[in-house]
Structure 1
Amino acid sequence: MNTKALYKLIIDLIMTVLILIAMACRLTGTTIHELLGVSLFVLFAIHNILNWRWYKSLLKGRYNTLRIFHTVVNLLLLITILALLLSGVMLSRTVFAFLNLNGGLFARKLHMLFTYWGFILISVHLGMHWGMIMDAVRKKAKLTSANRSRTLALQIMAVLLALYGVYAFFSREIGAKLILYYTFDFWNYDQSPAIFFVDYLSIMGLCVCVTYYTVKLLQRNSAKNILLHS
């Protein structure tokens, strides 16, 4: 992995952690929440600058199912982060308070909606690059040879994580939040913060697993199509 690819990978992982912490606004407080949001946007801007060639290539070449999938996810993530920034600035009480904007209920609804879509899309984006992440980890750990026991253990862990992720997805009513069924996101002060992060990490793991294997399936189908038409 070259230096640029490593930087992009590190930025992706930091952004993933930041959006997870930012979702616990009631734990961090408004000021830290807003600073996390600004940091997230700055990292996203750097990420896009590092991937500028991808934007230049959008109108070039042929599009197969896998490329369409990547493109749609990336563009939706771009729109989501921009919407989060706009609504966040409108709601700001500290960092952008000098602008004296009052987004009101509309900005609050917008911010809540795109927070959950941003969480899902960043998780999917991470899943699209999970193979590269695993390769980097294997090289760093110098795990050059295949190990069936290790592979089986990791697969079992992934299945268990995904299963708990399904439970957490429904118990946290993520689907309802993605369609803005609820106007406000109520925080349960009786819950342990650790449970909050475990639940959302498992939901993230579910998205990563589903995306990773979807990408593998699309890659397989793409390779078959190339062989059939060669």
Structure 2
Amino acid sequence: MKPLFLVRLFLDLVAASLLLGAMAYYWSGNALHEMMGTAMFLLLVAHNIFNRRWYGTITKGRGAARGIITKTVNLSLLASMLTLLVTSVIISQSVFSFLPLNSTFTARQVHVAVAYVVLLITAVHLGMHWTLIMGIVRARLGIQGPSLLRTSVLRGLAATIAAAGVYALFEEGVVSKLLMQLSMEFPSFSTLPFLANHIAIVGLFACLAHYGYTLFGRRLQRRT
């Protein structure tokens, strides 16, 4: 496995971690929140540079259902990231405060809503590539051959995280935030519960995407 690929994977992991960290606004404060967000966007620029050849495949393979799904998810993530960047600049109080822009309550609501859209699409993106990631992990750890026990333990862990993710969706009032509604639900302002809840939400949508994508691929194979 090429070292450059591992570096790219590590940078993607750092970007995802910065996204989670930036969402913990009540822990980080505004200045650190904006610096983490800025660093995340710089890493995403690097990610797109590394994967620039993918853009040349957008108009190819139009009949491949799995390819269409992948392209739709990737382009949706790109669009939501750009929206997040624009709203970040508009409401900035630190990094981009020198720009003559006026922040509004609506812009802040859109920023929060889009941040959760980015989180969920990132989780789906992760789930769709989970087989590749697990293959890399197995190769690095020298794991060869299937294991019923290992598979059972990992699936049990995935089910537990997914169940926690369902609870976290309500605990953090995610639906209200996506709809830009004022909610009577109080999110967890303590850092560890907040991060644990959001990791569980990522796990839930990654599991749904992974198993859904896998089952969909198997159905296509049976038809052919």
The superposition leaves residues 12-44 of structure 1 with CA deviations (integer Å, 9 ceiling, x where unpaired) of: 222211111110011011111101111111111
Q: Which runs of 5+ in 2 are unaligned?
A: none
Residue 216 of structure 2, aligned match among 218, 222, 226: 218
Q: Partner amino acid for 2:26?
A: R
Conserved 8 A contact 1:12-1:126: no
Which residue of the partner structure matches residue 143 of structure 1? Answer: 143
Which residue of the partner structure matches residue 169 of structure 2? Answer: 169
Which residue of the partner structure matches residue 128 of structure 2? Answer: 128
Q: Partner amino acid for 2:117?
A: W
Conserved 8 A contact 1:16-1:123: no
Which residue of the partner structure matches residue 91 of structure 1? Answer: 91
Q: Structure 1's 179 and 154: CA in aligned 2 closer, same or farther, altered over 3 A?
A: same
CA distance in 2, matches of 1:184, 1:91: 24
SS in 2 for 1:99: coil
Q: How many Å apart are 1:157 and its aligned residue?
A: 0.8
CA distance in 1, matches of 2:160, 2:153: 11
- RMSD in angstroms over aligned alpha carbons? 1.9
CA distance in 2, matches of 1:193, 1:50: 33
Aligned length: 224
CA distance in 2, matches of 1:62, 1:4: 30
Conserved 8 A contact 2:173-2:185: no
Q: Structure 1's 34 and 27: CA in aligned 2 closer, same or farther, altered over 3 A?
A: same
CA distance in 2, matches of 1:48, 1:201: 24
* Counterpart mapping for 1:15-164 below 5 A: 15-164=15-164
Q: Partner amino acid for 2:204?
A: L
Q: Partner amino acid for 2:72?
A: V
Q: How many Å apart are 1:11 and its aligned residue?
A: 2.5
The superposition leaves residues 39-79 of structure 1 with CA deviations (integer Å, 9 ceiling, x where unpaired) of: 11111111111111111111122332211111111111111
SS in 2 for 1:181: coil
Q: How many Å apart are 1:8 and its aligned residue?
A: 3.2
Range with greater deviation from structure 2 (175-184 or 97-106):
175-184
Which residue of the partner structure matches residue 195 of structure 1? Answer: 193
SS in 1 for 2:153: helix
Conserved 8 A contact 1:26-1:187: no
Give the TM-score normalised by the residue count of structure 1. 0.90
SS in 1 for 2:98: helix
CA distance in 2, matches of 1:72, 1:15: 21
Conserved 8 A contact 2:171-2:185: no
Range with greater deviation from structure 2 (4-13 or 87-96):
4-13
The superposition leaves residues 176-217 of structure 1 with CA deviations (integer Å, 9 ceiling, x where unpaired) of: 22121238996655xx32111111111111111111111111
The superposition leaves residues 105-147 of structure 1 with CA deviations (integer Å, 9 ceiling, x where unpaired) of: 2221221111110111111111111111111111111111222
Percent identical among aligned pairs is 36
Q: Which runs of 5+ in 1 are unaligned?
A: none
* 2:205 is the alignment partner of 1:207: yes
Give the TM-score normalised by the residue count of structure 2. 0.93
Q: How many Å apart are 1:224 and its aligned residue?
A: 2.4
Q: How many Å apart are 1:154 and its aligned residue?
A: 0.9
Q: Partner amino acid for 2:11?
A: I
Q: Structure 1's 205 and 32: CA in aligned 2 closer, same or farther, altered over 3 A?
A: same
Q: How many Å apart are 1:6 and its aligned residue?
A: 2.5
Q: How many Å apart are 1:82 and its aligned residue?
A: 0.7
